[in-house]
Structure 1
Amino acid sequence: MSAFIYLASQSPRRSQLLTQIGVRHELLLPTTAGAEDAVEDLAEDAEALEAVRPGEAPARYVQRVTALKLDAAVARHARRGLPEAPILCADTTVALGRHIFGKPADAAEAERMLAALSGRVHRVLTAVALQAGPRRLAALSVSRVRFAAMTTAQIAAYVATGEPLGKAGAYGVQGRAAAFIAQLAGSYSGIMGLPLYETAQLLRDIGFEL
């Protein structure tokens, strides 16, 4: 068994979380280094992969997107002729009922998302998928978060920090938004973007030593 894994995610938080539990990893990301690779990686564009299908349930959505990202990472690994090692992917989404909140396109959308979440309970779903040779394993973490009521001024001030951009649901649990989280049930690391218990279980299942 390899002594390391590939992490196919641009999220620095996922990398930090793997380091937290002592998992040595290397990033396996799209690149523009070579023309051929750049063309191939264009087909792996995250925005295209993360498109929501009409009527798609949040759990189904996040699991499907994670599987697509892993497909892209496996193909990227083969194309580059890299040493063999397990490949890990994850994706996180925020859901209010069946409504999916992805990453806000701009500050205005971030404010709308936070206004909708204010004073209410929402779910944070993070799917994890691991490819080890021909084997593929997957897990899903579902947590519930209740935001305190936030004023328009508080939302605007938080959005002005820039923290909500690039984050599903327009907030980061590990950042300033924590001041508004009244209750949390589930996986804190899952809300951050990589549920460590589920991830560790998948790694153990393939014989990876933690």
Structure 2
Amino acid sequence: MKPFILASQSPRRKQLLEQAGLSFTVIPSQMNEHFNLNVSPEEAVAQLAGDKARSILEKYPDQIVLGADTVIAIDGEILGKPADRADAEAMLRRFSGRTHDVITGVALVSAAKETVFAARTEVTFFPLTDDEINEYIESGEPFDKAGAYGIQGLGATLVERISGDYYAVVGLPLARVFRELRAFNAR
């Protein structure tokens, strides 16, 4: 496969792509992340991934660009990264003993072609005690992650089960991205 540009600064996405043995350069999109709240969470995150990828393609029109973004949705509401400790605590309480959706939007774009999709995974949390929530927040892990947790870290201890692609929860549905890249690069 031809090398491509990853339009994301996520260390988790970079690690997953390296795990798959892919050649790429990281050039993060600097655009502001605003979700269209008039569409479904899947459509909103797919649009944002596409916008990120296209913003980099404008600067590198002869390249293939991969854009991605991940959101958490519960009760139809998109939750981003927590603003502060109280916000992280509120999110974790909301997830306690419930199922929510983790949706990762992906866009592959070039001057000749564009593929955009969203992968949704259902995540169910165990009922959480105040102590469990406070200990997790004290770890510092919730603050740079949508929905205030990372399944690939200590947040794994909060999760009772998932239904869908684990890697989409981490930040990139790796197997599908690999297949889409292969199809995208076909000559």
| Common fold: TM-score over 0.5 | yes
Pick one of 75, 78, 81 that aligns with 1:97. 75
d(CA) in 2 for partners of 1:29, 1:153: 37
Q: Deviations over 1:169-204 (max 9, x none)?
A: 110000001111101111111000000122012101
Aligned-CA RMSD value: 1.8
User: Following TM superposition, where does structure 1 have runs of at least 4 consecutive aligned residues deviating by more than 6 angstroms?
Assistant: none
Pick one of 28, 31, 44 that aligns with 1:61. 44
Structure 1 counterpart of 2:117, which letter? A
d(CA) in 1 for partners of 2:93, 2:51: 31
Residues 28 and 77, structure 1, Cα contact 8 Å, conserved in 2 = no
Pick one of 121, 138, 143 that aligns with 1:165. 143
Percent identical pairs in the alignment equals 36
Q: 1:54 to 1:140 in 2, by over 3 A?
A: closer
Segments of structure 1 that go 5 or more residues without pairing to the other structure are 31-40, 79-83
1:183 equivalent in alignment to 2:166: no
Segments of structure 2 that go 5 or more residues without pairing to the other structure are none
Larger radius of gyration: 1
1:153 equivalent in alignment to 2:131: yes
d(CA) in 2 for partners of 1:126, 1:15: 15
Question: TM (normalized to structure 1)?
Answer: 0.83
Pick one of 70, 79, 83 that aligns with 2:53. 70
* Equivalent residue, structure 1, for 2:106: 128
Displacement of 1:107 after TM fit?
Answer: 1.6
* Equivalent residue, structure 2, for 1:7: 6
d(CA) in 2 for partners of 1:190, 1:208: 24
Displacement of 1:55 after TM fit?
Answer: 4.2
Question: TM (normalized to structure 2)?
Answer: 0.93
Q: Deviations over 1:24-76 (max 9, x none)?
A: 1111125xxxxxxxxxx5xx2xxx3x223444421121111111111211123
Equivalent pairs, count: 187
